[in-house]
Structures are given as structure tokens and as C-alpha cells.
Amino acid sequence: MLFIIALIAAVAAFVVRIGAKKRLNKSEASFALAGIVVALIIAFSQLVTIIPAGHTGVVDFLGNVSDNTLSPGVNLVNPMAKVVKYSFKTQEIKENMTIPSKEGLPIQLELSLLFRLDPAKANEIYKTVEEGDYLNVILVPQFRSVTRGVTAKFEAQALYTEARERLANEIVTELQKLVGPRGITIERVPLRQIVLPAGLTRSIEEKMQADQESQRMAFILLKEKQEAERKLIEAKGISDYNNVVNASLTERILKQKGIDATLNLANSSNSKVIVIGSGKDGLPLILGGN
């Protein structure tokens, strides 16, 4: 449309310029020439369109949608055609929803949806979706519906603890089944926050604390049992050692050890001892010393 308007303006300016020349009105002729130049620049600019990086262009010429899409960069197009640009970069939708759990308890979810569009499907999206607005017509409603359906399968306590990742993965799987054929790829569904009813949250935290205390006590008991077993093994080892030593200490060996001890005392420079006679076992008697 702008192309046609620019051409009409150029023709009108050309007619004005001819009339001005006939009347020898130089200023009017110059103004008309400037109008012709501007109108032609605008008209020829409609022959070119620029597709940004990460986007694709769908060409609609009077209701006929081209099967070929425009690639990023400068493209020559029919000046009468309409070009609709679609991004195929990763995009994010953020949602806050209150959803009943499996027990019917209200769960507040704050989550995101990361997705991207297949550029080869952009023309199909434009032809089959109202105004080509696949985001609000297809994706957001399906995302909300799937999230509600999947969350209703989980108990609230599980969502508070270990089931977050399973919930996110199941939402991705179910949503991809619905929107994948339309050219939409679901990448991830990050769960930013899950808020349970206050009373339930408190009871879950108390139960978790009790479980942790129970595990701590079980660890202490196991450690004490292991320590008792260690001491029992140590005592048995000492007992066995003493039995072996006692069995090896004959009368002859004891006498020899006594003689060796007496010799060590006699050779010591710090001791003064008097050794006389012998005891009943044949060992010297030590009467005194410093």
C-alpha cells in the first residue's frame, strides 16, 4: 500500500513540476522535484526488507502465503506483499498459577516455559493460527492446561520434596506432544517456586526434622556399637597376648631376667647398691641404694 501511495505522490509531483516550468516558477519546480525524489525513495524502499538475526519472514501477497520463508538478512520482495516476521530464538513465558494437588490442596506455582519456533513451520503457523499469534492462541492455553493436569497427579508433600524434577519433566513431555506438530519445540520448564498451605508446610518440615534426628541417632548407635566391638576385639587381643607370654615365662627364664637386671644396676653410675647372698630363688638380695 505504501508503495502505491509513494508512486501516486511521485506522479503528482511530476505533474506539478511540469506546470511550474510552464509558468516559469522555479521555486515551485524545485519543490516538486524534491517531492519526486522523496516519493521514489519511499517506493523503492518497499522492494527490500531486512529480516533480523534469529528471525524468519513469511510473505503474504494479497492472501496468498508463500511456501518459502525469508532468511535473516536483506531480501527482495514484492512491494505489494506483506512480510510477517517470526523469531525462532529461545523465548520465555512466566506463569503464576494456583492449582489443586492430588489431595485437593491449593498449590501456588511460579514457573517458566522455555520454547522456540521451527522456522520451517512459520508459514503454517501464519496460515492456520488466528493472526499468526501462536503464543496466545496455542502455547499459553495449552501450557496452563497441561500444568494443571500434571500437577493434579502429585501429592503436595512430594512436590515439596523430591518430585519437583519429575513434575517439570512430565509437563515438558505432555506439552511437547500437543504443540510439537505445530512447529513449537519445548526446551525446559523451570520451577521457580512452589508454595504449599502454611499448615502443611510446617508439618512437612517437622516430619523432615524428626527424620533427620532419627537418622542422627541411628548413626550414633551404629558408631557406639562399632566402638564396643573394637574394644572387645582389642581386649581379646591383649588377653591372648598375656596368655602366650605367661605360657612362655618358665622359671629358668625368670631367673635369667633377674640376673640381667642385677647386672644393669651394678653397672649404673647413678646407683649405689649392696648385693649380698641370695634369695630363695637364687637371685641376689638388694639391701639398699640411693
Higher local confidence (pLDDT), 216 or 186: 186
Q: Please, how many CA atoms are within 13 Å of residue 141, restricted to the half-sphere of its CB? A: 5
Alpha-carbon span 29 to 82, nearest angstrom: 35
Alpha-carbon span 201 to 155, nearest angstrom: 13
Q: How confident is the model at residue 234 (pLDDT cuts 50, 70, 90)?
A: confident
Domain ranges of the chain: 2-87, 91-196, 251-286
Give the per-residue pLDDT at 80.
Answer: 81
Residue with the three cell numbers 502454611: 198
pLDDT over 90 for what percent of the chain? 29
Q: Considering only 82-86, 156-160, 173-177, which range has the smallest mean pLDDT?
A: 156-160
Give the per-residue pLDDT at 89.
Answer: 95
Q: How confident is the model at residue 200 (pLDDT cuts 50, 70, 90)?
A: low
Full-model pTM? 0.60
Give the per-residue pLDDT at 156.
Answer: 79
Fold of 91-196: Tetrahydropterin Synthase; Chain A (3.30.479)
Residue with the three cell numbers 488466528: 130
> What pLDDT digit, counting tens, does each position of 65-89 carry?
888 889 999 888 888 888 899 999 9
Higher local confidence (pLDDT), 209 or 118: 118
Alpha-carbon span 56 to 76, nearest angstrom: 14
Asked if residue 170 lies in contact with residue 150, where contact means CB atoms within 8 angstroms, the answer is yes
Tell me the C-alpha to C-alpha distance, in Å, between residue 2 and each of 42, 54, 112, 135, 256.
8, 27, 40, 29, 125
pLDDT reading at 150 higher than 70: yes
Q: Considering only 15-19, 133-137, 189-193, which range has the smallest mean pLDDT?
A: 15-19
- The continuous run of DSSP H or E covering 1 comes out as none
Q: How confident is the model at residue 217 (pLDDT cuts 50, 70, 90)?
A: confident
Q: Considering only 11-15, 29-33, 283-287, which range has the smallest mean pLDDT?
A: 283-287
Alpha-carbon span 97 to 99, nearest angstrom: 6
Tell me the C-alpha to C-alpha distance, in Å, between residue 73 and each of 35, 86, 208.
30, 14, 57
